Amino acid sequence: MEHKTYKSYDELPLMLSVQDVADVLGISMSGAYELVKSGTGGIYELNDHLFEGRYSPTNAYGKREVHTVYAKTREECERLLDEMIPKVRAEIKAEKERLKAEETAQE
């Protein structure tokens, strides 16, 4: 995979690979993976014609869960990830509210 050198932050694409994040921020790959893991999503090029988009939020039970989309282009993967993240956040929020209501009813 080819890595581009960016001369300014204005040149950065909307979505970066983990390697791009590490390079741009001057941090290790493990540090970059830690940032990606924080629930904002990330796109990885698996091979010449397959991209994987991942979103790894903490669910209503406090555990990390991975949601994945696959696409033939980075742009399509970005779009699918952008559509998925709000849906997953809404599902987690609804489950948290359900758990809270259930907890309140038991008191």
Chain segment 15-24, per-residue pLDDT in tens:
677 787 777 7
* Bridge partner list, 53: 43, 69
Domain ranges across the chain: 13-106
Residue 39 pLDDT grade (very low, low, confident, very high; cuts 50, 70, 90): low
pLDDT > 80? residue 60: yes
Task: Taking the CA atoms of 3, 35, 30 and 69 in sequence, report the sign of the dihedral they define.
Answer: negative
Q: Output b/e per residue, 52-66; b: 16+ Cβ within 10 A.
A: ebbbbbeebeeeeee
* CA–CA distance, 92 with 83 (Å, rounded to integer): 15
Residue 12 pLDDT grade (very low, low, confident, very high; cuts 50, 70, 90): confident
* Bridge partner list, 69: 53
Q: How many helices (H) and strands (E) does the chain have?
A: 3, 3
